[in-house]
Structure 1
Amino acid sequence: MEYREEDFLMLSGIQHFCFCQRQWALIHIDMLWEENLRTAEGEIMHDKCHDSMSSESRGDILISRGLPVFSRAMGVSGECDVVEFIRDDNGISLSGREGRYKVYPVEYKHGSPKEHNADVFQLCAQAMCLEEMLVCEISEGALFYGETKRRTKVQFTDAMRTEVREMFELMHHYMKNSYIPKVKPTKSCNACSLKDLCLPKLGRAGDPQKYILKNLEEQP
């Protein structure tokens, strides 16, 4: 199955979806968004990476920034922060370039490595798009975190690729049916930029209508 271009989802949405399916739905289906310090600082870092689509050579490495990617098989499109094309005899050929190159995606993040796999899945999705576009295999990429100033290598396993495909399938299903998952409050809610729109406390209270009526009755 191949998705039509008009049905493509934002590739970066997989990070929201992995972190919280309700957050993804509020942003991508209900079109809600709120900035907080973390999102603002993250945008600044990405603006530096995506200042304009550009490339440069450093020895045997060709560096491409803000590279547009897509996958008809997964129905997604987006941009890669950085893709390094490293000279390698077992790699692919590039138009207008001599030699062959290995493809190595790098995603930039403002904070530090996380307990969940949202960043890892986003990077893997980028690699899968590049594989489809360039007809190649990409076994590894890296996440660069602003707080640690270091790269974290990521190996793209078959299990990881399967999870990415399944998440995008579910995202397409939610989008098609305009489905907004119910609140599932966690300790991460306080750091979410959408907490004032999502209202996770209503989820803890059970039925939102009963919660509102109860509070109205308690008012003098």
Structure 2
Amino acid sequence: MNEHAINIRCIQHYMYCPRRFALLEINDDWVENAFVVKANIQHQHVHDGSHSYSDSKKIVRSGIAVYNDLPEYDIFGITDCIEFVRSKEGTELNGYEGRFQVRIIEYKPKAPKECDFNETDAIQVFAQKICADQIWSCHSEAYIYYSDTRKRVKLPFDTEYEKYDVTLRKLLSEMRQLLDEKKLPARKKGQKCSGCSMADICFPKEKKFCVRDIIMSQKGADVQ
């Protein structure tokens, strides 16, 4: 059993910047900016229960806690939305008659311009799939819904499962090694930090050395 269970939301932090991940998980630092707040508001709306309903074709639930406690994963998290769509080839659900296809829906505010989806988003949703497949003994489908285009994009886990599985396991291993070492890694070469909410904590701006300020502070005077 792993010493460190990994929250799925932390995987994207690590993929963006291992140093950011370490600040969050080792130092317990956290700072929000406009991008973070906007994303949080969207997810709060998704998880508030208004997206949960049932009809003759499917059962829709938001904010479902999921996990996979197999040693090679040992991950947990909260899904934005899961649809249980009635299907003869699906899986059984406790308390419900019939069979259902499990469908994971992850909400993102803005679609990428150069591709159908971001790989960092896909890895996050694949981790949710690993959990859903274990919990409901199924082969779940996975989609990203982009709010700006109001469209769903199906993720290619049925044809590229091994690729994403290898990547996820590698990331989890690296993250646990970093947690074991309890050291902040150096910033990656070429890392773009302008949009990161942790930039000021990560590399705080130091006040220029001034002899006058030191002398005045030793005298007990206020330094302006």
Q: Assess same fold via TM > 0.5.
A: yes
Tell me the number of residue pairs that the alignment of Structure 1 and Structure 2 aligns: 205
Whether the 8 Å CA contact 1:63–1:84 is kept in 2: the answer is yes
Q: Alignment identity in percent?
A: 29
Structure 2 unaligned blocks of 5 or more: 214-224
More strand by share: 1
- Who is 2:173 aligned against? 169
Measure the CA separation in 1 of the matches of 2:121 and 2:40. Answer: 15
Matches within 5 A, 1:149-164: 149-156=150-157, 157-164=161-168
TM-score, normalization: structure 1? 0.83
1:134 pairs with one of 133, 136, 141 = 136
Residues 150-201 of structure 1: CA distance to partner in whole angstroms, max 9, x if unpaired? 212111121111111111121112112213221125463111111111129x
Distance 1:187 1:180, change over 3 A: closer
- CA RMSD, 1 decimal: 2.6
Measure the CA separation in 2 of the matches of 1:185 and 1:114. Answer: 25
1:144 is displaced (CA, Å) by 1.2
Measure the CA separation in 1 of the matches of 2:186 and 2:50. Answer: 39
Whether the 8 Å CA contact 2:110–2:147 is kept in 1: the answer is yes
Distance 1:160 1:82, change over 3 A: same
Whether the 8 Å CA contact 1:3–1:72 is kept in 2: the answer is no
Measure the CA separation in 2 of the matches of 1:144 and 1:216. Answer: 51
TM-score, normalization: structure 2? 0.82
Measure the CA separation in 2 of the matches of 1:153 and 1:54. Answer: 20
Distance 1:84 1:119, change over 3 A: same
More helix by share: 1
Measure the CA separation in 1 of the matches of 2:89 and 2:66. Answer: 22
Bigger mean CA deviation after superposition, 178-187 or 100-109: 178-187
1:181 pairs with one of 182, 185, 190 = 185
Residues 122-151 of structure 1: CA distance to partner in whole angstroms, max 9, x if unpaired? 00000001112222222x311112222221
- Who is 1:87 aligned against? 86
- Who is 1:208 aligned against? none
1:30 is displaced (CA, Å) by 1.2
Matches within 5 A, 1:46-195: 46-52=43-49, 55-73=52-70, 74-113=73-112, 116-138=118-140, 140-156=141-157, 157-186=161-190, 188-195=192-199
